[in-house]
Structure 1
């Protein structure tokens, strides 16, 4: 069964503290699971990558093998799709792959 992972990160402009929240839905778009995570200081792109990684790890543990990731971060989508497995540029991207 295919599931959808929607994730979004946020960074407070004054403190730089960040968090990510995500929702997992089934193929009928019905809610399965939601989660959030406080990340401390990081960029919005990094926060959203953590949301994707956390979601994939949860889905893997639940036995799902088909996932459609929906993100509003074009930068992250391009990075995940274009990076080579051995590219040391970003460890989060390597873990997501």
Structure 2
């Protein structure tokens, strides 16, 4: 069975603080876990990379064989498929490359922002919190309706 990781980053337009969030679920649309983390000040693109890295680290601990990572940040998806590395992002990209190289059946895909609302909301929730990684074994109240809608849409497009 294939498993999915949807991840996103958020940056507050006034304070410049950033956060990341993601959701892990199975091919049947069953929630496995969600996560988020307040990052401090960084760009939205870097926040998105942290979201991918956090999700990959959580997946590695679970030992899932086939994973599809989905991000609505086309710039990062393209950067992660490219071998050129630059600046601060390069260390994050290098670490993500290492994990993806080790895990043979893991892939990274671009998805439209409209299909990534749960991860986006989890990231925005973390803008109000401290910097620790928070894990959600059940969908938080703030996203339960979004989760049901996103799962319904994803199942329709896969069938």
TM over 0.5: yes
Superposed displacement of residue 65, structure 1: 2.7
Question: Higher strand share goes to which structure?
Answer: 1
Count how many residue pairs are aligned between Structure 1 and Structure 2: 95
Q: Aligned Cα RMSD in Å? A: 1.3
Residue 22 of structure 2: aligned partner: 22
Q: Which runs of 4+ in 1 moved over 6 A?
A: none
Residue 65 of structure 1: aligned partner: 65
Normalising to structure 2: TM-score of the pair? 0.57
Question: Higher helix share goes to which structure?
Answer: 2
Mark the runs of 5 or more structure 2 residues left unpaired by the alignment.
98-159
Residue 13 of structure 1 pairs with residue 8 of structure 2: no
Point out the structure with max Rg over C-alpha.
Answer: 2
Q: Distance in 2 between matches of 1:96 and 1:77?
A: 11
Residue 47 of structure 1 pairs with residue 47 of structure 2: yes
Report the secondary structure of 2:15's partner residue: coil
Residue 4 of structure 1: aligned partner: 4
